[in-house]
């Protein structure tokens, strides 16, 4: 039968469930992200909100009544679960030792689902496998907790150990739960060493649980610390049942030494009266007076035993069974009451509104704001890298050969002037060396090797040094000696290329020694005329024979020639012949030396610099390309996360509009009408996400009425 309540549940589900997908995608986008996207708090909060939204929509969709069980360790919560379920739920009896929630609900087939803080879920069908898994997980968690304690740090599993178990869903055949639709939620025992904050454990059920049951042994009933956090439950649940777990088998010692039934066995209500009159705090007293808190003294062990076994014919009910029956009746009555329906509807809407507030706060988290700023910085960095790459590409297209040709042309005049000046000095000294040779006994070989060639080599060295110094002076001030357009200078700066360094490295890579050593013997004895003596004529000697007798072998003219012979056998004709040969050699030598020196030093420098420029530009382009890709990848990752967070914001805004519509439509519905059939004409639909450009309209309330009519 379709009722207003079921209609509300469907509309609520269609409004809130669409939040799960964008929240999950946003959390996933932060999983395994790069270091600068390490937002553990945001991811943990997203997973937590996803978990809470999932629990809320499942609860509303299935119209589940969550009944939370609280209490200290070993207070009897597991025994109470057996009694409430009407079945032996041994599968969960040992699980609360692990600090997580345990959900117990009915299912035709047994299955267990272990959910972790990181959102992962595992399924088990074998209780022993589940126990082993929980035991290992408990050891791992204890080790992490000890490490944190030894370091003096706080510990939050959601942040520091997301692999920790958050909850266990135990679904087993339990007919009584099937009939009531209740889900029993066993919480970790109070005062457990692994209690990570009671607020964290109850947060999932704030404005979403039907009621709470607090279990305490009679021995602890008068301990003040037992109820310190119990009072917090009064702010979370509209109805709380306090079950005082009795041991009706206990005995007391009488004055005569005999054992007599204890007060718990004889008159447990006196214990409750004493608690109410002597130990109950004012908040608990006020809640009891308002009817929100009820107290039941129950021997849970006996009650559970009675519920699980079939009583024989005529068998008397167990002692104290009436108290458990009263508790069970009041609990059942509340879950079937219109008060519960109103609380169910109102709590669901408030819980959804609270979760939406948390989502809105999360997408404006300081870490998210910092991420947006970092994303903007990455985008600016990407643009700068692209600008620099464009500068590199323009530099690659620039005609560097032409620029170095201009450098050559710039230096050429000064090199030619220096070459002419050095040539004149060298020619004058060469003539002087020839004249001086005629005044000595030196051989022709000595003239060539000891006088002429060293002077020509000195000219070669001096010119080479001058060109090298001139080039270096031009290169050192900057831009490798080039006069570049301003836009090329700007591109060099953008590309972060140091032209001064490039020029100096290109100069340093050259070996000046290869320019030198090109001087060859400028004279040949065969070209020098020799006068024949009388003896030469008489003996009919040829001029070649006479020349050989005077100079020695033409290839090794090492014969010493006395000054007298130079005067008589060579004379002025030989002097002029030597000068002519030397002039012919000098003409070629000076020209070739200038060309060679110029070409090698400036040309090689230009070649080296151009090659170095091309290589550096290629390397810089590759480096900028790789750097750009890294920045782009990070930027895409950042924008993906921000896009998912924006989707969460959008989905939250759309869901908030739907919740406002549901509040306006159902918020003032009379409780009795929630379970009545809904007329077909009164079944509006609530699209979870409006189509582009479509406005969501607010439907009229289904059952409008005035305050005088008793609005809920």
* Count of residues making up the chain: 712
What's the rounded Cα separation, in Å, for the pair 267 and 250?
12
pLDDT digit string, tens, across residues 594-631:
888 888 888 888 888 899 999 999 999 999 999 999 99
pLDDT digit string, tens, across residues 558-592:
889 898 888 888 888 888 988 888 888 888 888 88
pLDDT of residue 312: 55
pLDDT digit string, tens, across residues 82-103:
888 887 775 555 555 677 888 8
pLDDT of residue 695: 41
Answer yes or no: are the C-beta atoms of 238 and 211 closer than 8 Å. Answer: yes
- Most confident stretch, 23-37, 69-83, 551-565, 613-627: 613-627
Q: Is 561 helix (H, G, I), strand (E, B) or coil?
A: coil
- Residue where the block lists tokens 């809407």: 349
In a 13 Å sphere around the CA of 543, the CA atoms on its Cβ side amount to: 8
Chain mean position to CA 701: 48
Pull the structure tokens for residue 286.
């006020």
**424 pLDDT more than 80:** yes
- Most confident stretch, 191-205, 559-573, 639-653: 639-653
Q: How confident is the model at residue 702 (pLDDT cuts 50, 70, 90)?
A: very low
Pull the structure tokens for residue 441.
């006994």
pLDDT of residue 680: 55
**692 pLDDT more than 70:** no
pLDDT of residue 429: 92
**681 pLDDT more than 70:** no
pLDDT digit string, tens, across residues 234-278:
777 878 899 998 888 877 777 777 776 777 777 788 888 888 887
What's the rounded Cα separation, in Å, for the pair 660 and 350?
10
Answer yes or no: are the C-beta atoms of 7 and 686 closer than 8 Å. Answer: no
- pLDDT, mean of residues 653-678: 83
Q: Using a CB cutoff of 8 Å and minimum separation of 24, what contacts does 572-578 make?
A: 573/529, 573/531, 574/528, 574/529, 574/530, 575/434, 575/435, 575/438, 577/527, 577/528, 577/529, 578/434, 578/523, 578/528
Residues 6+ apart with CB under 8 A from 474: 407, 410, 411, 481
CA distances (Å), 615 to each of 392, 395, 502, in order?
Answer: 12, 12, 11
- Residue where the block lists tokens 């050429």: 412
pLDDT of residue 678: 64
Q: Is the dihedral of CA 117, 81, 124, 131 positive or negative?
A: positive
- Residue where the block lists tokens 């050989």: 548
Computed over its alpha carbons, how large is the radius of gyration of the chain? 52
**22 pLDDT more than 60:** yes
Residues 6+ apart with CB under 8 A from 366: none
Q: How confident is the model at residue 699 (pLDDT cuts 50, 70, 90)?
A: very low
CA distances (Å), 195 to each of 66, 96, 100, in order?
Answer: 21, 11, 9
pLDDT of residue 556: 80
Answer yes or no: are the C-beta atoms of 463 and 419 closer than 8 Å. Answer: yes
Q: Exposure of 659 by Cβ count < 10 A (0-12 exposed, 13-18 middle, 19+ buried)?
A: buried
pLDDT of residue 314: 60
CA dihedral of 528, 529, 534, 538, whole degrees rounded to 10: 90
**689 pLDDT more than 70:** no
Q: For 115-119, 254-258, 314-318, 513-517, which range has the lowest pLDDT when averaged over its residues?
A: 314-318
pLDDT digit string, tens, across residues 301-318:
888 888 887 655 566 666
pLDDT digit string, tens, across residues 393-412:
999 999 998 988 888 888 88
pLDDT of residue 208: 60
* Helix runs in 20-170, H state only: 20-29, 40-61, 77-85, 127-150, 157-160
- pLDDT, mean of residues 491-512: 86
Closest by alpha carbon to 164, among 187, 190, 137?
A: 137
pLDDT digit string, tens, across residues 647-656:
999 999 999 9
What's the rounded Cα separation, in Å, for the pair 309 and 331?
22
Residues 6+ apart with CB under 8 A from 121: 113, 114, 115
DSSP 8-state class, residue 87: S
% of the chain at pLDDT higher than 90: 20
Chain mean pLDDT for the chain: 82
Output helix, strand, coil percentages for the chain, rounded to the nearest 5.
Answer: 65, 10, 25
The H or E element that residue 244 is part of is strand 240-245
111-116 and 121-124: which strand pairing?
antiparallel
Residues 6+ apart with CB under 8 A from 555: none
Q: In terms of pLDDT, which residue wins out, 104 or 314?
A: 104
pLDDT of residue 176: 72
| Longest alpha-carbon distance in the chain | 176
What's the rounded Cα separation, in Å, for the pair 632 and 626?
10
pLDDT of residue 202: 59
Q: How confident is the model at residue 700 (pLDDT cuts 50, 70, 90)?
A: very low
Q: Which residues of 428-437 are buried (b: 16+ CB within 10 A; e: fewer)?
A: ebbeebbeeb
pLDDT of residue 581: 87
First to last CA, the chain: 24
What's the rounded Cα separation, in Å, for the pair 23 and 291?
40
């Amino acid at each position: 039968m379709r009722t207003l309540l079921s209609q509300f549940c469907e509309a609520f589900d269609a409004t809130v469930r669409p939040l799960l997908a964008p929240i999950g995608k946003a959390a996933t986008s932060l999983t395994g992200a790069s270091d600068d996207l390490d937002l553990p708090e945001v991811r943990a909060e997203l997973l937590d909100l996803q978990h809470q939204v999932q629990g809320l929509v499942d609860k509303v969709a299935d119209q589940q009544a969550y009944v939370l069980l609280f209490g200290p360790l070993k207070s009897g919560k597991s025994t109470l679960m057996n009694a409430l379920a009407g079945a032996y739920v041994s599968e969960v009896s040992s699980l609360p030792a692990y600090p997580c929630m345990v959900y117990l609900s009915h299912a035709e087939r047994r299955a267990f689902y272990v959910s972790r803080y990181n959102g992962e879920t595992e399924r088990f069908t074998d209780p022993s496998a589940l126990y082993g898994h929980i035991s290992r997980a408990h050891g791992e968690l204890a080790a992490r907790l000890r490490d944190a304690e030894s370091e003096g740090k706080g510990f939050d599993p959601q942040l520091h150990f997301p692999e920790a178990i958050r909850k266990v869903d135990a679904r087993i055949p339990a007919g009584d739960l099937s009939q009531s639709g209740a889900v029993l939620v066993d919480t970790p025992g109070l005062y457990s060493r692994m209690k990570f904050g009671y607020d964290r454990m109850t947060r999932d059920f704030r404005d979403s649980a039907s009621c709470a049951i607090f279990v305490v042994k009679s021995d602890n009933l008068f301990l003040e610390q037992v109820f310190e956090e119990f009072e917090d439950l009064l702010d979370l649940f509209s109805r709380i049942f306090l079950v005082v777990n009795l041991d009706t088998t206990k005995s007391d010692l009488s004055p005569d030494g005999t054992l007599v039934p204890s007060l718990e066995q004889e008159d447990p209500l006196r214990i409750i009266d004493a608690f109410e009159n002597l130990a109950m705090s004012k908040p608990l007293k006020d809640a009891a007076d308002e009817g929100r808190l009820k107290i039941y003294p129950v021997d849970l062990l006996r009650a559970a035993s009675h519920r699980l076994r079939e009583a024989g014919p005529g068998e008397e009910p167990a002692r104290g069974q009436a108290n458990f029956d009263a508790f069970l009746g009041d609990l059942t009555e509340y879950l079937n009451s219109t008060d519960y329906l109103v609380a169910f509807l109102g709590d669901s809407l408030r819980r959804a509104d609270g979760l939406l507030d948390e989502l809105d706060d999360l997408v404006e988290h300081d870490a998210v704001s910092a991420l947006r700023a970092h994303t903007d910085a990455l985008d600016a960095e990407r643009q700068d890298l692209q600008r620099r790459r464009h500068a590199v590409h323009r530099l690659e297209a620039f005609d560097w050969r032409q620029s170095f040709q201009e450098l050559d042309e710039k230096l050429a005049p000064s090199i030619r002037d220096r070459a002419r000046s050095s040539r004149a000095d060298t020619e004058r000294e060469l003539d002087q060396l020839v004249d001086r040779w005629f005044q000595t006994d030196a051989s022709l070989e000595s003239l060539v090797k000891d006088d002429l060639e060293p002077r020509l080599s000195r000219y070669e060295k001096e010119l080479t040094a001058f060109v090298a110094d001139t080039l270096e002076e031009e290169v050192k001030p900057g831009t490798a000696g080039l006069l570049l357009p301003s836009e090329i200078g700007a591109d060099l700066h953008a590309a972060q290329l140091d032209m001064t360094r490039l020029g100096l490295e290109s100069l340093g890579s050259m070996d000046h020694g290869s320019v030198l050593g090109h001087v060859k013997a400028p004279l040949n004895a065969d070209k020098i005329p020799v006068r024949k003596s009388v003896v030469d004529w008489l003996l009919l000697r040829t001029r070649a024979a006479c020349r050989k007798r005077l100079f020695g072998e033409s290839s090794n003219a090492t014969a010493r020639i006395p000054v007298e012979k130079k005067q008589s056998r060579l004379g002025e004709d030989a002097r002029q012949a030597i000068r002519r040969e030397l002039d012919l050699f000098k003409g070629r030598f000076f020209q070739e030396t200038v060309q060679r020196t110029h070409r090698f030093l400036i040309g090689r420098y230009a070649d080296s610099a151009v090659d170095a420029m091309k290589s550096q530009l290629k390397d810089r382009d590759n480096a900028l390309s790789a750097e750009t890709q890294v920045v782009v990848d990070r930027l895409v990752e950042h924008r993906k996360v921000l896009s998912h967070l924006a989707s969460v914001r959008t989905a939250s805004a759309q869901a908030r509009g739907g919740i406002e519509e549901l509040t306006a439509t159902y918020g003032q519905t009379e409780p009795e009408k929630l379970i009545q059939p809904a007329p077909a004409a009164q079944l509006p639909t609530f699209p979870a996400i409006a189509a582009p450009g479509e406005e969501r309209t607010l439907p009229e309330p289904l059952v409008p009425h005035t305050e005088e009519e008793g609005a809920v």
